[in-house]
Amino acid sequence: MAEIIQFRKPKPVEKAKGKTLCKRGFHKWVIDKDRRFDVRQGCLVTDYRCERCGVVKTTAR
């Protein structure tokens, strides 16, 4: 009885590196929705989304 144990760890180095950066607060921001009007803030805002982890932030201009 042969037992084949496979260690499958799909670990793209770039992704791991990116997550480390995200943990440190260095997100890779890309513009999600440019210059929409935020009713609550009463001004134009831009939505940014982190390409790696998907965190969203909103910045008022």
Given the rule CB under 5 A, which residues bind Zn ion? 22, 27, 50, 52-53
Residue 3 token pair: 């037992």
Closer CB to Zn ion, 26 or 44, in the complex: 26
Q: How far apart are CA 59 and CA 45, in angstroms?
A: 5
Closer CB to Zn ion, 23 or 43, in the complex: 23
In the complex, least distance from residue 27 CB atom to Zn ion, rounded to whole angstroms: 4
Closer CB to Zn ion, 43 or 47, in the complex: 47
What's the Rg (C-alpha) of the chain?
Answer: 19
Q: How far apart are CA 42 and CA 40, in angstroms?
A: 5
